[in-house]
Amino acid sequence: MKKTFLLLSLFLGIAYANATDYYAQYRTDWAQKAEQYKPTLNETVIRPQSIVEFVKDEKAFQGWKANIIGEAKPFFGQSFKNQKEIILDLGDHYTGYFYFKLKEIQGIQDAPVRIKFTFGETAPELSTPYEPFNGGLSRAWMQDEIVTICEINDYETINRRLACRYIKIELLGSSPYFDFTFDDLYFKAVSSAKESEYVYDPNLSKELNDINRISLRTLHECMQTVFEDGPKRDKRLWVGDLYLTNLANNYSYQNYDLAKRCFYLLASLADENGRLHANVFEAPKPHPQYGTYIIDYNLLYNVALLDYYKATNDIETIRDLWPVAKRQIEDAMQFLNDKKIYDREKSAGLWLFFDWKNELDRYVAMQGVTIFSLQKTYELAQILGKTNEVKNYPTFINEMKSAAKKYFYDKNQKLFISNGQISYISQVWMVLSETVKGKEASELLNRVMNTPNAVTIGSPYGYHYLIEATIKVGMKSKAEELLINYWGKMVEYGADTFWEVYDPYNQYTSPYDFFPLNSACHAWSSTPVYFINKYFK
């Protein structure tokens, strides 16, 4: 699905481009501010704690678990030719750079040493053969590297940043006339958040404490020089992830300079018509993934700005970026028809995300997120004293809500139907947009959660909005239950950080047709820290 949408988005991007740069007068300033707020990364040297083996276990996540078979310290100084293969455990998930040093212990090196290193976030990732590779993304994302050492001398390194807990080392070739050992091996972990020990909160249950701790760790690993979506794979800033990581950051690390950098960076790299690209890269110089757009993500940029302002009172930033917020609304509204609903023909080719669920029909959700963004953007205008620029927003909001009820609501089933489909996501966005309120909204959510044929949630990203909706309608105990049942199950499976994809009905679900490609540490999975610290304390 992702590949298809990328192609469609690229096609749409070509059609969308023209010669006028909507943000010409702002770009230089935005780019300078993005660079100004770029953080310095904190570095921590981590050495392996244990030697482990991976064993099959039907009760373990994806059928594999790690068993400790010894301490790591005795590994150093021993002949590696006799061992030939070992798996080292860093003790937690880390993002950073790997260094090692070999040492001759018998004879003189008379030939190169060839070693394979494989870095994994989880035991299943390292226990699954990568070949033949049939994944939907590049094979190069897999973290395996072959290093040839022609002269044992000083520290060697892997020329890429890695994200892992486990390091598998295999000897592929060496001379029979000399022997060697690993003299040293360490991982230089990096994050713009500082390492710290989690302090358990006596006011929270053990389940919520564990989820809170792992959410913090997830966010920590994704806080690089932007909020990265996944430090193992993708390594870039996505607009939708920013909305969620901004919420998590507001209730945890409160690294507001990092948030500002992300807002300004996305704005400075928008296309010439003012539409935000879905994601941006930092190296070798800041640039977007050209022509890639996700319209529901772009509408959430505005909401994230409002949330950021409420946490910081930084009016300068929202004033600077007001043109971006207003433009995202204008862009999205062009795809409405005369009935004030999203026109399938007008919007053909748009990448609408909402959740990792191939079968999900997204048009009711798109109606909802547009209303939601209109409301939040109007609130931004009120703060800035610019309501005269968006005086038609209240009318649009009312018209779109009325249209949603008229064209999407089934009075017999008492659910919103999107192209004949009942889904959790459709009902969630009708609640978040306040198209339905109060008792009617809580009944709507309860009804869909008790509808056997409803399309369920497919990712932590989608689950965030389900929990947000249940809290909005006063179902706080239900929200806590959903949080514990979903993220708590990942805790039970031994998660060090929370995963990009978790499907309770299929552990091997992957949007990329190869589950080791899934990120086991993903920014959009960190929002329990927001829920717990805002609502459950």
> Residue 346: its pLDDT value, please?
85
Model pLDDT for residues 316-326, shown as the tens digit of each residue:
999 999 999 99
Task: Say whether pLDDT at 152 is over 60.
Answer: yes
**pLDDT computed for residue 56 by the predictor:** 97
Peptide bond into 323 cis (omega under 30): no
Give tens-digit pLDDT for 49-97: 999 999 999 999 999 999 999 999 999 999 999 989 999 999 999 999 9
Q: What is the pLDDT of residues 292-317, one digit of tens each?
A: 999 999 999 999 999 999 999 999 99
What is the rounded distance in angstroms from the CA atom of residue 76 to the CA atom of residue 88? 12
Share of the chain above pLDDT 70, in %: 96
The tens digit of pLDDT for each residue in 456-501 reads 999 999 999 999 999 999 999 999 999 999 999 999 999 999 999 9
pLDDT value of position 19 = 55
Report in angstroms the alpha-carbon separations of 391 from 212, 387, 388: 41, 6, 5
Burial-class residue 57 by CB neighbours within 10 Å (0-12, 13-18, 19+). middle
User: What per-residue confidence (pLDDT) applies to 2?
Assistant: 46
pLDDT for position 288: 98
Could you report the per-residue pLDDT of 459-468, keeping only the tens digit for each?
999 999 999 9
- Please identify which residue in the block is written with the tokens 């007068």: 25
DSSP letters of 464-499?
HHHHHHHHHTT-HHHHHHHHHHHHHHHHHTT-SS--
Domain range list for the chain: 8-41+194-536, 44-191
Q: Percentages helix, strand, coil for the chain, rounded to the nearest 5? A: 45, 20, 40
Does residue 522 surpass a pLDDT of 70?
A: yes
**Section 390-396 average pLDDT:** 97
- pLDDT of residue 357 exceeding 70, the answer is yes
How many angstroms separate the Cα of 119 from the Cα of each of 44, 46, 68, 98, 148? 18, 14, 17, 10, 17
State how far the Cα of 353 lies from the Cα of 383, in Å rounded to an integer. Answer: 30
Comparing C-alpha atoms, which of 145, 150, 148, 190 is closest to residue 168?
145
Can you name the CATH fold of 44-191? Jelly Rolls (2.60.120)
User: Across-strand partners of 191?
Assistant: 42
Asked if 263 and 207 touch (Cβ cutoff 8 Å), the reply is no
Which of 405, 461, 475 lies closest to 433 in space, CA to CA? Answer: 405
Longest dimension (CA), the chain: 84
Q: How far is CA 286 from the centre of its chain?
A: 19
* Nearest in space to 34 (alpha carbons), one of 295, 322, 227, 312: 227
What distance in Å separates the CA atoms of residue 431 and residue 35, rounded to the nearest whole number?
38
Hey, do 8-41+194-536 and 44-191 end up sharing a CATH topology, with the first three levels equal? no
Structural contact between residues 470 and 446, judged by C-beta atoms closer than 8 angstroms: no
Q: The domain 8-41+194-536: what is its CATH number?
A: 1.50.10.10
Is 216 in a helix, a strand, or coil? helix
Q: 414: pLDDT confidence band, cut at 50, 70 and 90?
A: very high
- Say if CB 258 and CB 193 are below 8 A apart: no
Q: What is the pTM of this model?
A: 0.94
Section 387-392 average pLDDT: 98
Query: What are the angstrom distances between the C-alpha of 422 and each of 359, 413, 456, 491?
Result: 11, 10, 9, 30
pLDDT at residue 3 above 50?
no
**pLDDT at residue 350, rounded to an integer:** 83
Mean pLDDT rounded to a whole number for the chain: 95
Say if residue 206's pLDDT is above 90.
yes
Q: What is the mean pLDDT of residues 161-181?
A: 97
pLDDT single digits (tens) 338-355? 999 999 888 888 899 999
Question: Does 114 have pLDDT greater than 80?
Answer: yes
Residue-wise DSSP of 150-162: SS--S-EE-SS-E
Tens-place pLDDT, residues 225-279: 999 999 999 999 999 999 999 999 999 999 999 999 999 999 999 999 999 999 9
Give the pairing type, strands 85-106 and 50-56. Answer: antiparallel
Q: State pLDDT tens for residues 10-25.
A: 444 444 444 589 999 9
The length of the chain, given as a count of residues: 537
Closest CA to 373 of 239, 526, 228: 239
